[in-house]
């Protein structure tokens, strides 16, 4: 691993940085992303099977191109990290841009503390069309995207919403990374549904099971949190739309998880039972949850009948439910 330093605008020297992209079919967005990190000491584009000329564009833009098979976000990102030359790595997506101000802030921190810290975070400012989203759950959306491989800079997580980690001190910058997703309403909703299904699969495999409560209450809370607690209303109509989409994501995730849970119960009910205690552990938990929910419903119904009978007795009406 090259431990060299690179000259910056000041008199000091900062550690060298590799800018890294993991892409597929990003010919329309990658050039601007590469240009935004032209100050980096190395630019590496790891491609996972593009068919639109992304590899050629990356080479023409001055990047070194490496091709690997797609194995999911976590595995593919970690394999991409093995392809760079320098210790400090700035890991970006094709729809992200580093502004000159952010580049200067990174330079300043690394010049001063590059050998003492393990990573740098910064907020991510997203644009929808030409409008920045400054509130709600979209901002500050702080990201750890710059870290040292010698400090175990790596990616963890499931099928979706993976996170970066380092072992050691982290510096938080205030200058944002720019995020410019290019999808319209249809693309946004399609992508949201896709991610919701992947997240539901992760939760199901971790033993989580769907419930009507999650289907109803969680989306309501998430809308309230995004629009009021996170002040999404300050972004006007856009803030309302984003809060509604945020709530829809949680409704969709809960719907997928509830469907998976019910499918598991149906598979259990349709399978021949071999004997007491011989059901798979996960299916037994499903059956227990279904029984508990049924008993809870019966308890609520009984409580309602008791309250109605009490009210009718107090009003002098003969109870239809017999003596209490």
pLDDT score for 291: 40
pLDDT score for 7: 60
Q: Taking the mean position of all CA atoms in its chain, how far away is CA 250?
A: 12
pLDDT score for 8: 55
- In this prediction the pTM is 0.77
Q: Break the chain into its structural domains and give their ranges.
A: 5-179, 185-269
Pairing of strands 17-23, 13-15: unpaired
What is the mean pLDDT for each group of 10 consecutive residues in the chain (324 residues)?
A: 56 87 96 98 98 97 98 96 98 98 98 96 94 96 98 92 95 97 82 92 92 93 98 96 96 96 87 42 44 44 50 42 31
Has domain 5-179 been given CATH number 3.50.50.60?
A: no
């Amino acid at each position: 691993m090259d431990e060299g330093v690179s000259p910056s605008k000041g008199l000091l020297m900062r550690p060298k940085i590799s800018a890294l992209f993991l892409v597929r079919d990003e010919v329309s967005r990658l050039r601007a992303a590469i240009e935004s990190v032209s100050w980096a000491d190395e630019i590496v584009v790891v491609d996972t099977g593009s068919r639109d000329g992304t590899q050629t564009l990356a080479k023409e833009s001055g990047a070194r191109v490496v091709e690997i098979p797609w194995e999911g976000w976590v595995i593919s990102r970690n394999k991409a990290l093995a392809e760079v030359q320098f210790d400090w790595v700035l890991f970006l997506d094709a729809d992200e841009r580093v502004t000159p101000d952010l580049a200067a802030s990174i330079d300043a921190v690394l010049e001063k503390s590059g050998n003492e810290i393990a990573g740098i975070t910064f907020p991510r400012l997203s644009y929808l069309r030409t409008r920045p989203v400054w509130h709600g759950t979209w901002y500050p959306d702080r990201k750890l995207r710059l870290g040292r491989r010698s400090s175990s800079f790596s990616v963890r997580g499931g099928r979706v919403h993976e996170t970066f980690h380092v072992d050691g001190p982290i510096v938080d910058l205030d200058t944002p990374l720019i995020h410019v997703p290019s999808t319209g309403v249809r693309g946004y909703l399609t992508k949201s549904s896709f991610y919701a299904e992947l997240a539901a699969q992760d939760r199901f495999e971790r033993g989580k099971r769907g419930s009507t409560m999650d289907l109803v209450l969680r989306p309501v809370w998430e809308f309230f949190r995004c629009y009021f607690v996170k002040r999404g209303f300050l972004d006007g109509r856009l803030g309302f739309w984003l809060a509604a989409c945020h709530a829809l994501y949680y409704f969709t995730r809960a719907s997928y998880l509830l469907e998976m849970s019910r499918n598991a119960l149906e598979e259990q009910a349709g399978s021949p039972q071999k004997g007491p205690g011989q059901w798979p552990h996960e299916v037994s938990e499903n059956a227990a949850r279904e029984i508990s929910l049924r008993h809870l419903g019966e308890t609520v119904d009984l409580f309602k009948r008791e309250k109605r009978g009490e009210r009718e007795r107090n009003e002098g009406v003969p109870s239809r439910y017999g003596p209490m």
